[in-house]
Amino acid sequence: MKRIEQIKNVITPVDFSDNSKLIAESASFMAGRFNATLILLFVVQKFEDYSGFFVPQMSIPDFEQDLFTQAEEKMHTFRAEIESFAKEKGALAVLGKILVGDVAERIVEYANDKDSGFIVMGTHGYKGLEKIMFGSVADKVVKSASCPVLTINPYTCCEED
């Protein structure tokens, strides 16, 4: 387990849902407290995970590249929205990172690769069929991460009065 003083990176998985902004703002507070860098992380799910459900009109590599390109555009906008808030709270920097693969596995791998990491993530993102098909990402990350993980329920953490 990492000592609190050693945390240099607060890694926050996002899915660009409405809850992502609430979680990223909470993670900004943590990055500020640790005087750390806030890393916003989005994982493009590999197409093979969906291949049994539908066949796209374009080739798989083109489809995955299109998803990656769209994710980069969304990350650029999302990062810009969070950056001033995070820096105001004391974060050293705000970075955006896009990965491809199994969402939970890639989050854990990335956190393991980032020395002195800490994960702050929501317990709820997109719901419905995706959750039924792929299970809870937060649950998988909590069970397999080698660094501290803080999970936040966005429906109770950030209520306005």
Q: What is the pLDDT of residue 129?
A: 46
User: What is the Cα–Cα distance from 123 to 48, expressed in whole angstroms?
Assistant: 25
Q: Name the residue with tokens 């890694």.
A: 11
User: What is the Cα–Cα distance from 23 to 151, expressed in whole angstroms?
Assistant: 9
Read off the DSSP letter of residue 123.
S
Any idea what the Cα angle at residue 133 is, between residues 130 and 135, rounded to 5°? 85
Whether residue 51 has pLDDT greater than 70: no
Q: For residue 133, what pLDDT band results from cuts at 50, 70 and 90?
A: very low
> Is domain 10-157 given the CATH code 3.40.50.620 in the classification?
yes
Beta bridge partners of 121: 151
Whether residue 78 has pLDDT greater than 80: yes
Sorted by where each begins, the domain ranges of the chain are: 10-157
Dihedral sign computed on CA atoms, order 44, 50, 54, 55: positive
% of the chain at pLDDT higher than 70: 76
Q: Which two tokens stand for residue 120?
A: 């702050």
